[in-house]
């Protein structure tokens, strides 16, 4: 099968960011499929207008330079989304395909996906990584009624034209079905890359020895975006109280985003920067395993907004892959997992002093840490391993493609056996949500 895979912010392990699309695409190639990824070079470092092509483990990746970062104004970001929507539509429609797959965000990637699928008369499968426009509306980022209506219409357009939808959490799937009950929706969360996070004890010890500020002290880490949704200042405020309770505990924040400088400034104002708290710029994904290997505990945060509980943050699953306890400050399906298994802590959404007390207590409790590590590893192996979740992903694509083949066969039979290279008909997707996370 030839698959056109549209992801505006695709990353490979040599880049800083999530590698879900890389891992899924390369596994599709391993199974004998041809995959063309359409994406952007957000750094703008190549500077050359037009498309360039690379190959990642057999996956053809088509890059178009469109600079983007979280520090851009809202209008500039919208412009980047629109620009990619236009160039990706043209590119996707020009490529041969048996199936078109597009993954959000932004929601605008649905447009090139749907249009290319219609041009090629093949199935379209859509992946929902964040529930739009519900999340930006709840955060107050999308206030204009006209823009809200347009975003809602775009979501309806994507779901209506998708043969199937993949959602990264049960809450996202529920949001899809609430808008379009007839859309067949399957929950496939982010995954734990077990092999990537296998780190030799010697490498971990070398990392600790290299940094005098760390040594053999307990280490709490945050890795990932410092954006408007994350609220990483929560950890900085908790660190101030941690220093009072246990001055040896160290906090390491590794990432990037619009809130990087405000978070760093807050740490300086509270007197914990370059003491209790260290902040490092983003690193390639391949460098995260040793950092998590050295961690006593990992973390994931969102601002206290109910709509954000449905996230499926990579950092949560990276911690599981590294067999590290994870602390979160939100409820929802991940909190339920931690409560049920003991793989980490669920912190109060706003009380950073209470969070600090829990951090201090559990970072020194070797018995609890050992149990939590085992629980995290068990979750990674039994529920969230990349190979396990990829099998589910492949089933969705195979099912969508098979639906199209049946439509082709039916049309051929109705035409008295005449062959048709391009099926025009689509069957109605089966309703319901398949959640096995």
Q: pLDDT tens-digit profile of 130-163?
A: 998 888 888 887 888 988 999 999 999 999 999 9
What is the pTM assigned to this prediction?
0.90
Question: Residue 233 gets which letter from DSSP?
Answer: H
**CA 430 to CA 118: how far, in whole Å?**
20
Does CATH place domain 201-382 in 3.40.50.2000?
A: yes
pLDDT at position 406 is 64
Residue spans of the chain under pLDDT 50 = 418-437
Domains 2-191+385-434 and 201-382 share a fold: yes
Specify the pLDDT at position 407: 61
pLDDT of residue 424: 31
Per-residue confidence (pLDDT) for residue 139, from 0 to 100? 84
Domain ranges of the chain: 2-191+385-434, 201-382
Q: How far is CA 371 from the centre of its chain?
A: 27
- Give phi and psi for 415, each to the nearest 5: -95, 20
| DSSP run (H or E) holding 200 | none
SS3 label, residue 339: helix
- Residue of 403, 426, 410, 419 lying closest to 118 (CA atoms): 426
Fold category of 2-191+385-434 in CATH? Rossmann fold (3.40.50)
pLDDT at residue 435, rounded to an integer: 37
The total of other beta-carbon atoms located within 10 Å of residue 360's CB is 20
Q: Which residue has the tokens 């793989």?
A: 343
From edge to edge, which strands make up the β-sheet containing 164-167? 51-56, 59-65, 34-41, 2-7, 99-103, 124-128, 164-167, 185-187, 433-434
What pLDDT is recorded for position 433?
Answer: 37
The bridge status of strand 59-65 relative to strand 51-56 is antiparallel
What SS3 state is found at 432? coil
Mutual orientation of helices 233-245 and 260-269 as an angle, nearest 10°?
A: 20
The answer to whether the bond into 282 is cis (omega within 30° of 0) is no
b/e per residue, 47-79, with b = 16+ CB within 10 A? eeeeeeeeebeebbbbbbbbebeeeeeeeeeee
């Amino acid at each position: 099968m030839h698959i056109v895979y549209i992801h505006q912010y695709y990353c490979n392990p040599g880049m800083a960011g999530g590698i879900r699309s890389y891992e899924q695409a390369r596994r599709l190639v391993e199974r004998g499929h041809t995959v063309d990824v359409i994406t952007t070079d957000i750094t703008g470092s190549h500077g050359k207008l037009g498309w360039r092509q690379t190959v990642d483990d057999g996956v053809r990746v088509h890059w178009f330079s469109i600079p983007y970062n979280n520090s851009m104004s809202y209008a500039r970001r919208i412009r980047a989304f629109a620009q990619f929507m236009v160039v990706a539509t043209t590119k996707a429609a020009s490529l041969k395909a048996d199936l078109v797959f597009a993954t959000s965000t932004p929601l605008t990637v649905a447009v090139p996906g749907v249009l290319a699928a219609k041009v090629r008369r093949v199935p379209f499968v859509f992946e929902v990584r964040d529930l739009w426009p519900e999340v930006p509306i709840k955060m107050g980022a999308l206030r204009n009624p006209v823009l809200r209506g347009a975003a809602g219409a775009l979501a309806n357009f994507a779901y209506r034209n998708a043969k199937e939808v993949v959602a990264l959490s049960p809450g996202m799937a529920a949001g899809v079905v609430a808008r379009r009950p007839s859309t067949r929706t399957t929950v496939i969360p982010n995954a734990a890359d077990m092999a990537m996070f296998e780190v030799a004890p010697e490498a971990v010890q070398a990392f600790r020895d290299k940094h005098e500020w760390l040594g053999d002290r307990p280490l709490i880490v945050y890795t990932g975006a410092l954006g408007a949704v994350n609220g990483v200042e929560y950890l900085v405020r908790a660190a101030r109280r941690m220093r009072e309770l246990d001055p040896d505990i160290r906090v390491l924040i590794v990432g990037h985003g619009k809130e990087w400088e405000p978070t760093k400034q807050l740490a300086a104002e509270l007197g914990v920067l370059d003491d209790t708290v260290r902040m490092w710029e983003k690193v390639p994904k391949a460098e995260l395993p040793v950092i998590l290997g050295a961690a006593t505990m990992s973390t994931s945060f969102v601002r206290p907004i109910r709509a954000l509980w449905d996230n499926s943050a990579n950092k949560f699953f990276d911690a599981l892959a590294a067999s590290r306890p994870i602390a979160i400050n939100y409820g929802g399906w991940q909190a339920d997992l931690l409560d049920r298994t003991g793989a980490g802590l669920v912190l109060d959404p706003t009380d950073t002093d209470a969070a600090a007390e829990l951090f201090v207590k559990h970072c020194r409790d070797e018995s609890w840490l050992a149990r939590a590590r085992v629980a995290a590893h068990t979750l990674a192996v039994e529920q969230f391993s990349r190979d396990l979740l990829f099998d589910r992903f492949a089933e969705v694509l195979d099912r969508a493609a098979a639906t199209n083949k049946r439509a082709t066969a039916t049309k051929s039979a109705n035409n008295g056996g005449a062959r048709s290279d391009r099926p025009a008909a689509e069957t109605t997707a089966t309703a319901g949500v398949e959640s096995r996370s």
